[in-house]
Chains A and B, each alone.
Chain A
């Protein structure tokens, strides 16, 4: 088989074509292409896998088309709460963060946790504080605003339900 390879995903679910335009679909395809090519060229130059997956996920986090980083969905209180993890198969090193806000690239924070923290998993304000120690980039709320996501959220905001990022109307009950 291959002596190197990259695989990416941008989420799974009931992708409902009527929910988005040809322009959005092109944006999704172009970003997937950009991520795959970025990963491929790094691998071809001999870059190690853990650096490649970190970079490739950053490319996807920086796009408004995917539910991560910039394109993250809205929480019940109208903010964006993100989570990310990274793991190196060579030595089982791992880093992860959850319930973080205003972090431009949660995967970069997870990577810093892997490298610098001596822990595997940090959450919330503590994880954000750790990120600031290592100059992880933060963004204001407006950076994460996306009209499409906002409209999706408004539809179910008052309800006691939630929705996966690629679901039509299979909003599920809490609890």
Chain B
């Protein structure tokens, strides 16, 4: 799975996610990536999110939209919302969701959060150098 989130100079955010799914999948199985609100979501008022990992728990938790809701209705920061979803909610027995997400809010704060051994990731903010990383 691959994804990107961006904040442009006009204050807009956007999210995109693309995947080949799971090795050996059958019966037309699809995951969270292409489901708006689960693997991909964007709203200028809150954030843009792209998720990756085990699609079924991310679908069931409506994960990407959940981040936006935690910000909009509970006033959490982007980072706190991402940490809660990935490190608490996804760890609950009935979800057990392995994976991570990238997110950005309309102020340019970013979250790169995952509960697995690694996540291929990179980012660059205006006026800064790029950051690329694979492992924890």
Q: List the interface of chain A (C-beta within 8 A of B).
A: 1-15, 25, 28-29, 32-33, 35-37, 39-40, 43-44, 46-50, 52-54, 56-57, 60-61, 66-69, 71-77, 80-90, 92, 94, 96-99, 105-107, 110, 120-121, 123-124, 149, 152-153, 156-157, 159, 161-166, 171, 174
B126/A97 in contact, CB under 8 A: no
Contacts A53-B6, A99-B28 hold; do A75 and B100 have CB atoms under 8 A apart? no
Q: What is the total of A-B residue contacts with beta carbons within 8 Å?
A: 331
Closest to A111 in B: B16
Per DSSP, chain A at the interface is: mixed
Min C-beta distance of A60 to chain B, whole Å: 4
CA of A25 to CA of B133, assembled, Å: 11
A-B contact pairs, 24 of them (CB 8 A): A4-B8, A4-B108, A4-B125, A5-B104, A7-B112, A9-B52, A9-B120, A10-B120, A12-B118, A15-B118, A36-B130, A43-B6, A49-B48, A53-B16, A67-B1, A73-B22, A73-B23, A82-B21, A83-B21, A85-B39, A89-B12, A94-B40, A120-B36, A161-B24
Do A166 and B48 form a contact, CB below 8 Å, given A2-B108, A57-B4?
no
Q: Which residues of B contact A121 (CB under 8 A)?
A: 34, 36
A130 to B128, CA, bound (A): 41
B36, A73: Cβ atoms closer than 8 Å: no
B23–A43 contact, CB under 8 A? no
Q: Which residues of A contact B47 (CB under 8 A)?
A: 89
Count of interface residues, chain B, beta-carbon cutoff 8 Å? 78
Most buried by B among A9, A68, A72, A171: A9
- Asked whether B4 lies within 8 Å of A174 as measured between CB atoms, the reply is no
Query: Could you tell me if A83 and B23 are in contact, using CB atoms closer than 8 angstroms?
Result: no
CB distance from B118 to the nearest CB of A (A): 4
Q: Which of A6, A33, A166 contacts B6 (CB 8 A)?
A: A6
A88 touches B18 (CB 8 A): no
Q: Which residues of B contact A86 (CB under 8 A)?
A: 14-17, 40
Shortest A44–chain B CB gap in Å is 7
Separation in Å of the A55 CB from the closest CB of chain B? 9
- List of B residues within 8 angstroms of A97 by Cβ: 34
- Asked if B102 lies at the interface with its beta carbon under 8 angstroms from chain A, I say yes
Q: Is B26 an interface residue (CB 8 A)?
A: yes
CA distance A40 to B4 in the complex (A): 12
State in angstroms the CA–CA spacing of A74 and B40 once bound together. 23
19 more A-B residue pairs beyond the given contacts A13-B117, A36-B124, A85-B40, with a C-beta to C-beta distance below 8 A: A3-B126, A4-B9, A5-B124, A6-B123, A7-B122, A8-B121, A11-B119, A11-B120, A12-B52, A13-B99, A53-B4, A53-B15, A57-B17, A76-B25, A83-B18, A84-B16, A85-B34, A89-B43, A159-B24
